Structure 1
């Protein structure tokens, strides 16, 4: 009995240790997704202007911070007011949807089957709490911002130092190959980030124009939310639809909600069919099913951060398998990377 209890404690300890280690890995990866594009921009500026690497990195960082600060200042008053208004209207919209559903045939059928709407949604306030929780978390992904930002700055300032330390762990015969793998991973992560940013901008602009044309209230904040959650492939667009559909149903009824649904589906279809293939055509092509399954598995264990970073994690795994196993072990050089 004592041995069994000891084994259980050891398993739980190792599981917790593994979860902690993976959490650290996620934060390091998030820092890399900031540091690598900054370093790539600094290298590009260095090649074009012959400025010192440190000065080029400083200019790129100041440009990014200035652009973000300018955008925040430009939209702060309008967006801030709309965020507060959205938080006030969403609970009313949810209650309105529930009341209207009870007046339909299928709603009455659910009531006859003793299925309570509040229980189905986890309770109005609880369900609303989940939506606003996702909304606020997406708008202010600041839980680990301090660590991630400073870590990204350290990596961007001395990338060769950290790379050299990592490569030193590899036996000498494999160090050249290790540099090639790291180059491929760095290049893929930079392109993925740039591709996501372009997709976010396209979705945000198209959604704003569409909601404005439909006369939807709070169009700016809904469009900004749609653009931000586009950073999460596959699942992000579904999340962005929820507040928009609720408000459309609340203000305009089922017809307005159908128009908004058609708009979101159209924007996401355009982004998936036209924008993403163009901006990510040189990336490793990952099957959508693989990304979706990876998001479900990683997100279920690590939450929003893992869900957001699931695609680059899968991309890194694919690179390692193709280069270190398929090419180096199996000798198949025909695999397209």
Structure 2
């Protein structure tokens, strides 16, 4: 009986690692699903952290220099930012509406050019009979556009309410993060051993600084690129300069891909104005993009986001697949934080682990040689 009980206990002990491994795998899968389901909440939280990190610099300056409480300082900065946005809107919206009305007035002219495209397509179809009729292609495109427009119009009230709720959430959470950042930092450090508190504090501070620098620099780059695009379109004579410049400026929110996607409507409108306008607009966009890459971004952003382009591209793809354009926008600062964690935590820990393994292997080798005694030639 004792032998049977001992064998049963031994069987349970041997099965315990398998049970724990399966339990850990199940909990990991549940955790990943939970993160996927809560990705919108996590996105709002990360965007709030971005805004809080951006506000923390000016609010700290107001707190240190003028003794303004951090919460009030952050609220004042928000009010000033809203005032700037209202002022920019006051300057931009009237010409924007005027150019939209101009586009409606010029619709017959674009229709005539559309007929020219139709005739060119008919000539091309004579050479390639396998091509479908032009009217069939346009009918399909029109049906798709109308279907999408109807879906958007139906979902518009709900989407507006959701956007308003998200904006209020970002505003409140970012204010709370600015005012409570010191307490949150102390709490996180209290959970870390004394030996590692210095490194963890450095990682927290550098991550916070990177996020703040990213958003501030991105807004400045957007303003410069949009202004240069607007001036170029005015000089070339391309119509609708205000909305096209705004599209190009907001395209800077999505790194790598966004700027070129934003230039699709720009080049499309320029093509309707003729080959000269198209070529000049394309050249101007290339010049502005290179100026941004070699002059504007290095001067504005400096080396604060020294990340490999491959990591940026992969991060944008993952962020866009998980949360759309908003995910692509937050992908770069998220990759920047992850880069700091890997460089400052994971890599040193791995090097230390490898160093211990090498020391252990060397000690075992020395002990083995000591037990074996001196070589036969020495004896």
Identify the structure with the greater helix proportion: 2
The question of 1:62 aligning with 2:79 is answered yes
Q: What is the distance in 1 between the residues matched to 2:195 and 2:318? A: 36
Q: Which residue of 2 aligns with 1:145?
A: 167
- Give the greater-gyration-radius structure (CA): 2
Counterpart contact for 1:91–1:125, Cα < 8 Å = no
Counterpart contact for 1:295–1:307, Cα < 8 Å = yes
Which piece of structure 1 moves more, 90-99 or 319-328? Answer: 90-99
Q: What is the distance in 2 between the residues matched to 1:169 and 1:91? A: 69
Taking the TM superposition and a 5 Å limit, the aligned residue runs for 1:128-207 are 144-171=166-193, 173-207=195-229
State the Cα RMSD in Å. 3.8
Taking the TM superposition and a 5 Å limit, the aligned residue runs for 1:77-116 are 77-83=94-100, 100=117, 103=120, 108=125, 112-114=129-131
Q: Which residue of 2 aligns with 1:335?
A: none
Q: Which residue of 1 aligns with 2:53?
A: 36
Structure 1 residues 53 and 143: alpha-carbon distance in aligned structure 2, compared to 1, 3 A threshold: closer
Q: Count matched residues.
A: 316
Q: What is the distance in 1 between the residues matched to 2:109 and 2:143? A: 11
Q: For each residue in 1:216-275, what CA deviation from the matched residue of structure 2 results, as whole angstroms up to 9, or x when unmatched?
A: 11111211221122122111211221211222222x123322222222122111111111
Structure 1 residues 170 and 223: alpha-carbon distance in aligned structure 2, compared to 1, 3 A threshold: same
Q: For each residue in 1:179-224, what CA deviation from the matched residue of structure 2 results, as whole angstroms up to 9, or x when unmatched?
A: 2111010111111112211210110110010001111111112112
Q: Which residue of 2 aligns with 1:227?
A: 249
Taking the TM superposition and a 5 Å limit, the aligned residue runs for 1:218-297 are 218-250=240-272, 252-297=273-318
Q: What is the distance in 2 between the residues matched to 1:205 and 1:55? A: 32
What is the DSSP-based 3-state SS (H/G/I as helix, E as strand, rest coil) of the residue aligned with 1:330? helix
Unaligned stretches of 5+ residues in structure 2:
1-26, 354-379
Unaligned stretches of 5+ residues in structure 1:
1-9, 333-337
Q: What is the distance in 2 between the residues matched to 1:91 and 1:170? A: 69
TM-score, with structure 2 as normaliser: 0.71
Taking the TM superposition and a 5 Å limit, the aligned residue runs for 1:278-317 are 278-317=299-338
Q: What is the distance in 2 between the residues matched to 1:121 and 1:273? A: 45
User: Deviation of residue 307 (structure 1)?
Assistant: 1.1
Counterpart contact for 1:102–1:111, Cα < 8 Å = no
What is the DSSP-based 3-state SS (H/G/I as helix, E as strand, rest coil) of the residue aligned with 1:158? helix
TM-score, with structure 1 as normaliser: 0.78
What is the DSSP-based 3-state SS (H/G/I as helix, E as strand, rest coil) of the residue aligned with 1:231? coil
Q: Which residue of 2 aligns with 1:123?
A: 141
User: Deviation of residue 156 (structure 1)?
Assistant: 1.9
Structure 1 residues 259 and 195: alpha-carbon distance in aligned structure 2, compared to 1, 3 A threshold: same
Q: What is the distance in 2 between the residues matched to 1:294 and 1:27? A: 18
Counterpart contact for 1:234–1:292, Cα < 8 Å = yes
Q: For each residue in 1:296-333, what CA deviation from the matched residue of structure 2 results, as whole angstroms up to 9, or x when unmatched?
A: 2221222111111111111111111001012343259x
Q: What is the distance in 1 between the residues matched to 2:241 and 2:346? A: 49
